[in-house]
């Protein structure tokens, strides 16, 4: 069965195509700047990369082009080969506990969540509707970044603010990157042949979050009402004293949009280093002994260590810590910085293993004396979306 895994934004559409249940990725690509003057797309398949600039007025144009090119490039033989479409939806609020087959009610539900996911949900709906238009008979599935976190209990998802904010405005922790945390959980449970593990998953990319998981259920996570919360990130502040916000808005005469923009795009590592967002550049600068990079790295590490230690207590010890995403999978340096601060919990790295990761594989990197197993696992949100889509379609 050919399944498309789709991540649609307001002006982009990322896709991966899988043969399921073999989990074989047969192509992937990106349509960019949809609705803008200089739209373009790229498709990767086998060892080829195909790129083209073309006018794409909307998501329907992009989907039409995608299907046309898949047939032209002989990635599929006929439009009928596509049997399922899985769509990433960032905000599922407390409406969606798991992935679902899309119908009119689901579309309405995702739209009702626009106020909670204004930057992401409209793009997802554009993608869903475009496929509905071009492939009306193909089943479509919505996979939510938030749904894995719906098992978090009230005491962990409520904020200590007026109850009406929760009741009337839906202000609570939702958590994000859920598809990745779920993928990592499934992968380690399968690897260790044990569904009753206590796991701390560290998804450390440009956006970053950590989750505490027990018996495959999420107990807590660092992102919150929005992906701005939790640990310090490439350009996001993570948790700060909330009083800073009205104070600075008043002093600098900023409106809420400007403030939100600064906290999301000009804070985190970027703010402390005067402009470094990419972790590779931070490593270079740190190794040159540049003081801003040293401070940023200490801040970044400190916040991650604090959450790992906190989740270790919440879980009453942990069996496994997992590193994943751009930084977690690729930076032995970041992993070393973090784990070297956890020796009081008897967590230790095997430096040889940490420095010699086999890419694309599950790697154990803790030393024999470590009381907690430490792993590097490459995450794969697109595959998780394809798996959910396949399973829902087969069982519907």
By CB under 6 A, name the binding residues for ligand ADP: 205-207, 234, 278-280, 283, 325-327, 330-331
In the complex, minimum distance from the CB of residue 226 to ligand ADP, in angstroms, rounded to a whole number:
15
Instruction: Enumerate long-range contacts of 353-359, CB under 8 Å, 24 or more apart.
Output: 357/329, 357/332
In the complex, minimum distance from the CB of residue 301 to ligand ADP, in angstroms, rounded to a whole number:
14
Residue 145 annotated among the catalytic residues of the structure: yes
The answer to whether the beta carbons of residues 320 and 198 sit under 8 Å apart is yes
Q: In sequence order, what DSSP letters do the residues of 156-175 get, joined into one string?
A: HH--SS-HHHHHHH--S---
Q: Which is nearer to ligand ADP, 136 or 360 (CB)?
A: 360
In the complex, minimum distance from the CB of residue 137 to ligand ADP, in angstroms, rounded to a whole number:
33
Q: Which is nearer to ligand ADP, 174 or 176 (CB)?
A: 176
Main-chain phi, psi angles of 160, to 5 degrees: -75, 65
Token pair for 13? 């559409």
Angstrom distances, CA of residue 80 to CA of 85, 192, 333, 391: 12, 39, 47, 19
Choose among 283, 273, 293: nearest CA to 335.
283
In the complex, minimum distance from the CB of residue 102 to ligand ADP, in angstroms, rounded to a whole number:
24
For residue 219, the cross-strand partners are none
Selecting among 38, 78, 145, 241, the annotated active-site residue is 145
Buried b (16+ CB within 10 A) or exposed e, 317-340: ebbbbbbbbbbbbbbbbbbbbbbe
Residues with active-site annotation: 145
């Amino acid at each position: 069965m050919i399944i498309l895994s789709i991540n649609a934004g307001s002006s982009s559409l990322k896709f991966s195509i899988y043969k399921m249940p073999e989990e074989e990725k047969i192509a992937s690509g990106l349509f960019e700047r949809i609705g803008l003057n200089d739209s373009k797309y790229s498709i990767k398949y086998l060892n080829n990369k195909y790129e083209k600039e073309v006018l794409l007025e909307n998501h329907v144009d992009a989907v039409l082009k995608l299907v046309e090119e898949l047939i032209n490039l002989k990635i599929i033989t006929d439009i009928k080969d596509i049997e399922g479409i899985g769509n990433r939806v960032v905000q599922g609020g407390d409406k969606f506990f798991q992935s679902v087959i899309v119908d009119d009610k689901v579309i309405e539900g995702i739209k009702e969540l626009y106020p909670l996911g204004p930057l992401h949900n409209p793009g997802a709906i554009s993608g869903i509707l475009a496929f509905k238009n071009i492939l009306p008979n193909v089943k479509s599935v919505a996979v939510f970044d938030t749904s894995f976190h719906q098992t978090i209990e009230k005491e962990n998802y409520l904020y200590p603010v007026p109850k009406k904010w929760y009741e009337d405005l839906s202000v609570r922790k939702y958590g994000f990157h859920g598809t990745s945390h779920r993928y990592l959980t499934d992968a380690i449970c399968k690897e260790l042949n044990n569904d009753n593990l206590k796991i701390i998953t560290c998804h450390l990319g440009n956006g970053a979050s950590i989750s505490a998981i027990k018996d495959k259920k999420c107990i807590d996570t660092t992102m919150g009402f929005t992906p701005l919360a939790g640990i310090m990130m490439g350009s996001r502040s993570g948790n700060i004293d909330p009083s800073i916000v009205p104070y600075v808005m008043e002093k600098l005469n900023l409106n809420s949009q400007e403030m939100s923009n600064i906290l999301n795009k000009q804070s985190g590592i970027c703010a402390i280093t005067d402009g470094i967002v990419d972790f590779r550049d931070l490593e270079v600068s740190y190794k040159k002994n540049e003081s801003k990079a040293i401070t940023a790295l200490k801040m970044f590490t400190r916040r991650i260590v604090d959450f790992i230690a906190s989740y270790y207590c919440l879980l009453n010890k942990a069996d496994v810590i997992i590193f994943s995403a751009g930084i977690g999978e690729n930076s032995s340096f970041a992993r070393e910085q973090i784990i070297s601060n956890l020796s009081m919990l008897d967590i230790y790295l095997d430096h040889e293993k940490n420095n010699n990761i086999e890419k694309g594989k599950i790697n154990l990197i803790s030393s024999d004396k470590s009381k907690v197993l430490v792993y590097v696992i490459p995450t794969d949100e697109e595959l998780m979306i394809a798996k959910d889509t396949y399973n829902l379609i087969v069982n519907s």
